Amino acid sequence: MISHTGIIRSYNPTNRTGLITCDLGGDIRFFGANIASQGQPVSGSLVEFDMDDSSNSLQAVKIRFV
């Protein structure tokens, strides 16, 4: 898998889902369980992640804070 970078656009702690605006363009959905680093995701945080396209939609996995 190729690593990508982006910025967390939004995160909902209640349902633990959010969006990352990818540096290549577009928004990628993520689940809080896919965060490999310690810490709570907040809007504006720079992250590095892998993309998983094995399901019906593209998702960010192995999310790491930069």
Q: The CATH number of the domain where 29 resides is what?
A: 2.40.50.140
Taking 3-state DSSP, the helix, strand and coil percentages for the chain, each rounded to the nearest 5, stand at: 5, 55, 40
pTM for the model stands at: 0.89
Radius of gyration of the chain (CA): 10
Share of the chain above pLDDT 90, in %: 74
Phi, psi of 38 (to 5 degrees): -80, 150
Give residue 34's domain range: 3-65
Local confidence band at 37 (pLDDT 50, 70, 90 cut-offs): confident
Residues forming beta bridges with residue 52, ordered by sequence position: 59
Q: How many domains does one find in the chain?
A: 1
3-state secondary structure of 51: strand
Neighbours of 2 (CB within 10 A): 5
